[in-house]
Chains A and B, each alone.
Chain A
């Protein structure tokens, strides 16, 4: 598909969105690290872990499917 149309693959868009989301969630969660939360098991800081996972997954897809110039 990419070869025929030079179309950016869906994985690129997924990587882009998940990376941005990872940055937002990680930043928000770190900012709220010491603020008491009403959610259950907040002491495990799920937002931080979630942000890291999003950045990892998004970053992987973004790197793997970043449009590169053809040689």
Chain B
């Protein structure tokens, strides 16, 4: 007699499709239980999410650990995991820079320097901080762009997930999109940010439990780090894939085509700081902490885990380079019988994980996609309700009204994401443009926020025009290089620079332009008074004292520890 789970799966999921991985009934059971759990959590948390503070900010009562793990998980989506494993296969250990120099100093900067202003100002969002510091113009620009981009990225991620599930598991695309989206819609509309955070912390555990099998068995197979290096050299006839910094002296000396200045200032400075300190999707999690110390510790805790994530993302990519019996190809060269870079993580999972463990690994990927969508729609609902609807559409309504708006916004956000996912199926190249769109805003936004926080003299006009100039310059550079690819040499300052260098240097220039324009315009425009800058700027803010705390419990101690950990890793993999 046929197994009922396998039979139902065959009918609804796999009809007429080919797949990379076959799932056993135990795998399908594990996946199904995950869906039941997240729905159950949403239904349970509904009773606690009745005020706007609860629904949008999880009551501002998360512990440092919960806020920290969800802060990291909000970014640790399946697309990111699979994408960076793919990039590692392509570029080698250089991809680890996107974890290590991305964690330090940006996440520590957020915790130690910027979070006090976000938290003490009692703002509910990054656009909300901009409104307090610079006025409505900056908030509107930031809020609307964030809301639009968040929904677009949510839809793109949903499409990418459906495509991955189709290629890897043979699942029907429509099934993947609708089942995942509706599940997210239910649990976020019911439990708000509580649900999103709970499921992100759950996802964190699933990802580790599901993916650790790859580095453990992989390193056993190759015989440790020296064995891995030897196997990679056999495959590639190059040592460049296992060095983090020693190949960055020239653009042409490494597989990625970048220079160390781009990595340090472009990636570590402009891009990482732009994302980790101003993207409301992640900052919202730290803002939901129960007190300032927890809010400061959240990104610092996340930084430690961020620096360990390469174990389950970068190392699988390197192991794939070493042990897979066939070469993977870029997406542009995909053809029947060939596997692409993006498939390296599921291929490695299938290599080592048997029934049960495979289901756990796939559940971790699905959880990553879904919590990414949940994070996007919960952030969208918050920014829409607080920064667009409340100030510009219907002011002065009751708290209940705004909670209802938030719930409907969540559903609207999910359906807009589904629409975007279907739109992308028709216009696949839009994905590249959407990802570039995020990059246009993120570094100039960091410039505006940090100038507002550390320099009292920054004026509202300075902040707005700096943000505008930085964004416009980023769009201009991107467009120029798209039209004239040879102009990359001017953006990246080298004829040997490759595409990745364009992202890094464009982010750096747009940040610098933003800061420059902010300073110049501020010097010629009216500044705010000290009273108006209270809790918003260095020099006009009373910070709570931590004198009762032993030094090893302070955020500064743990932040310094991140720096030490970072230094050790760079030295180990030089």
Seen from chain A, the residues whose Cβ lies within 8 Å of a Cβ on chain B are 1, 4-5, 7-8, 10, 13-14, 16-18, 20-21, 24-25, 28-29, 32, 37, 39-42, 44, 46-47, 50-51, 53-54, 57
Smallest Cβ-Cβ distance to B220: which chain A residue: A41
B356 touches A47 (CB 8 A): yes
Tell me which residues across on chain A come within 8 A of B216, comparing CB atoms: 46
Beyond A5-B48, A46-B213, A46-B352, is A17–B33 a contact (Cβ under 8 Å)? yes
B327 → A minimal CB distance (Å): 18
Taking each of B41, B220, B356, B357, which has the highest tally of chain A beta carbons within 10 Å of its own beta carbon? B356
B48 touches A47 (CB 8 A): no
Q: Does B160 contact A (CB under 8 A)?
A: no
Instruction: Offer 29 A-B interface pairs, CB within 8 angstroms, sorted by A.
Output: A1-B61, A4-B61, A5-B48, A5-B59, A7-B45, A7-B48, A8-B44, A10-B66, A10-B202, A13-B37, A13-B41, A13-B198, A14-B205, A17-B34, A25-B356, A25-B360, A28-B24, A28-B356, A37-B354, A39-B352, A40-B323, A41-B221, A44-B217, A46-B217, A46-B352, A46-B353, A47-B353, A47-B357, A50-B213
Beyond A13-B198, A20-B33, is A40–B221 a contact (Cβ under 8 Å)? yes
**Sample of 7 further A-B pairs with CB below 8 A, known A13-B202, A14-B205, A46-B357:** A8-B44, A17-B37, A39-B350, A40-B217, A40-B323, A50-B357, A54-B209
Majority SS at the chain A contact face: helix
B353 touches A39 (CB 8 A): yes
B355 touches A47 (CB 8 A): yes
Size band of the B side of the interface? Answer: 35 or more
Ranked 4 nearest A-B pairs via Cβ: A25-B356, A28-B356, A28-B26, A10-B198
- The complex places the Cα of A17 from the Cα of B33 at a distance, in Å, of 8
Tell me which residues across on chain A come within 8 A of B26, comparing CB atoms: 24-25, 28
Beyond A1-B61, A21-B30, A21-B360, is A32–B37 a contact (Cβ under 8 Å)? no
- The complex places the Cα of A44 from the Cα of B216 at a distance, in Å, of 11
A17 touches B202 (CB 8 A): yes
Smallest Cβ-Cβ distance to B62: which chain A residue: A1
The interface bits of chain B over 192-204 (1 if a CB of A lies within 8 angstroms of the residue's CB, else 0) are 0000011001100
Across the interface, B354 reaches (CB within 8 A) one of A5, A14, A42, namely: A42
Q: Does B290 contact A (CB under 8 A)?
A: yes
Across the interface, B202 reaches (CB within 8 A) one of A14, A24, A39, namely: A14
Q: Does B63 contact A (CB under 8 A)?
A: yes
Q: Does B29 contact A (CB under 8 A)?
A: yes
- The complex places the Cα of A51 from the Cα of B202 at a distance, in Å, of 17
- The complex places the Cα of A25 from the Cα of B363 at a distance, in Å, of 13
- The complex places the Cα of A54 from the Cα of B209 at a distance, in Å, of 8
Tell me which residues across on chain A come within 8 A of B97, comparing CB atoms: none
Tell me which residues across on chain B come within 8 A of A18, comparing CB atoms: 205, 209
- The complex places the Cα of A29 from the Cα of B45 at a distance, in Å, of 34
- The complex places the Cα of A16 from the Cα of B202 at a distance, in Å, of 11
A25 touches B357 (CB 8 A): yes
Q: Does B231 contact A (CB under 8 A)?
A: no
Tell me which residues across on chain B come within 8 A of A41, comparing CB atoms: 217, 220-221, 352
A14 touches B34 (CB 8 A): no
A10 touches B201 (CB 8 A): yes
Across the interface, A47 reaches (CB within 8 A) one of B63, B323, B354, namely: B354
Taking each of A16, A18, A50, which has the highest tally of chain B beta carbons within 10 Å of its own beta carbon? A50
Tell me which residues across on chain A come within 8 A of B206, comparing CB atoms: 17
Tell me which residues across on chain A come within 8 A of B63, comparing CB atoms: 1
Smallest Cβ-Cβ distance to A26: which chain B residue: B356
Across the interface, A32 reaches (CB within 8 A) one of B45, B323, B355, namely: B355
Tell me which residues across on chain B come within 8 A of A10, comparing CB atoms: 66, 197-198, 201-202
B223 → A minimal CB distance (Å): 12
A-facing residues in B56-91 (Cβ within 8 Å):
59, 61-63, 66
Tell me which residues across on chain A come within 8 A of B217, comparing CB atoms: 40-41, 44, 46
B33 touches A21 (CB 8 A): yes
- The complex places the Cα of A17 from the Cα of B34 at a distance, in Å, of 8
The interface bits of chain B over 9-39 (1 if a CB of A lies within 8 angstroms of the residue's CB, else 0) are 0000000000000001010011001100100
B351 touches A51 (CB 8 A): no
Tell me which residues across on chain B come within 8 A of A4, comparing CB atoms: 59, 61
Across the interface, B290 reaches (CB within 8 A) one of A1, A37, A42, A53, namely: A1
Tell me which residues across on chain B come within 8 A of A28, comparing CB atoms: 24, 26, 355-356
Smallest Cβ-Cβ distance to A16: which chain B residue: B37
Tell me which residues across on chain B come within 8 A of A39, comparing CB atoms: 350-354
A29 touches B202 (CB 8 A): no
B20 → A minimal CB distance (Å): 14
- The complex places the Cα of A5 from the Cα of B360 at a distance, in Å, of 32
A25 → B minimal CB distance (Å): 4
- The complex places the Cα of A10 from the Cα of B217 at a distance, in Å, of 30
Beyond A17-B34, A18-B209, A41-B221, is A24–B352 a contact (Cβ under 8 Å)? no
B198 touches A29 (CB 8 A): no
A54 → B minimal CB distance (Å): 6
B351 touches A40 (CB 8 A): yes
- The complex places the Cα of A51 from the Cα of B210 at a distance, in Å, of 11
Tell me which residues across on chain A come within 8 A of B350, comparing CB atoms: 39
- The complex places the Cα of A39 from the Cα of B221 at a distance, in Å, of 12
B201 touches A14 (CB 8 A): yes
B209 touches A53 (CB 8 A): yes
- The complex places the Cα of A14 from the Cα of B208 at a distance, in Å, of 13
- The complex places the Cα of A18 from the Cα of B213 at a distance, in Å, of 16
A5 → B minimal CB distance (Å): 5
Beyond A21-B360, A50-B360, is A29–B352 a contact (Cβ under 8 Å)? no
B27 → A minimal CB distance (Å): 9
Smallest Cβ-Cβ distance to B29: which chain A residue: A24
Tell me which residues across on chain B come within 8 A of A13, comparing CB atoms: 37, 41, 198, 202
The interface bits of chain B over 302-329 (1 if a CB of A lies within 8 angstroms of the residue's CB, else 0) are 0000000000000000000001000000
